[in-house]
A and B are shown apart, each in its own frame.
Chain A
Amino acid sequence: MSWLTKLKTKVGSLGKRETTPDTLWHKCRGCGTMLFLKDFNANLHVCTHCGFHERIGPAERFAQIFDDGVHERIALPATPDDPLKFKDSKKYVDRLKEARASTGETDALVVASGRIGGVETILVVQNFAFMAGSMGAAVGEGFLKACAIAVERHAPLVVFTAAGGARMQEAILSLMQMPRTTLGVADLKDANLPYIIVLTDPTTGGVTASFAMLGDIQLAEPGALIGFAGQRVIESTIREKLPEGFQRAEYLFEHGMLDQVVHRGDLRKRLITIISLLMRPQKSAAA
């Protein structure tokens, strides 16, 4: 064993919402087919019938992407809870408490290091289950930490995005994470380190309009909703009819916004290839 505290994570079980009470079956949100949970899990939470990619959390993602699933979680900096004392129909502190209890995570961003095709890589996963993956100070600070560790270890950074957008309860401080995270991306670029984005369902709002669209390589999972403005806003405010497949990964690919749309089953292999090409024995004129 190295200095890393190695741990092997099994593919986690799905949340209750998507499963029948006996958890033996999973109903596909794409086509409605009842699937054997075992088959569905073995297929990386992708429908064996229609190919619908169900949302997955950090544990599953780390298990699927890292070599043998081996990884080390990176502790993220503490940020103030509820800096604005925000209260809508519910107190923000209570929403945070609930999200922490249901996910077991502190906030919506999780970072780990491990190897992908033998190359040490920092992996960032936005957890949609935690307040819709929304970006507040904790997400911004966590992202900056991930960038700093990548630079320190001279490792590529891979980010799986998933966010409903800004953490509205942090209002302006949430908005400020757009320039803040962009500063982290600048550090990676200055260090000539690969910054690889994998957009997953859904990635919208201020997250899309900052670090999620600044990748050297932009990948996305099939069918992922990716956009800046919400579809309801576009329909109701601007009264424009939405075209077929609007804001889906394939649509963005057609419009030149992505390098590739990659099936989850091929993602690890694709990342290994990209990382091995970009991290070839160096190179850097600056060194």
Chain B
Amino acid sequence: MSTTPPIDSALRLEYVADFEYSYAAGKFASRFMDALRNEARIQGTRCGVCDKVLVPPRPVCGLCLERTAEWVDVGPGGVITGYTVVEVPFIDPMTGIKRPIPYGFAFVRLDGADTNIYHFLEESRHDKISIGMRITAVFKPAPERDGTLADIIHFRAEGPAADE
């Protein structure tokens, strides 16, 4: 039986896959984003069975398996229900470039909602953020809004900033 001779260097082939994708966000996301862009309104859908208001809005309540019944306004205020400050660099798959760090992000439970959305916090100092903290959405000026979740720049602590 012959054996494979040893090799001096392992061949490594570098390549870049620069693909572009285009995603149809769907009827519910499109209606949400229209209201966000045109009226700075944030909305969810209410389940007629469990009565929970679900944000992001969706056609079906995942736990009740029933179609949601109606659209309702939520926020723009809310509370933080979980948070972190990202200090590790990585390539943002939305843009293909490194996302600036550090940044704070959180689970935000908007007033009137029963679920939480992920969004950026204005604050990026970990010891200035806490669960239960009240925050409110900071919207882009109307002419700059483009109908994406980024029309909410981030969430800011309610009331005057603590020590600025």
A joins B in a complex: no
Name A's B-contacting residues (CB within 8 A).
none
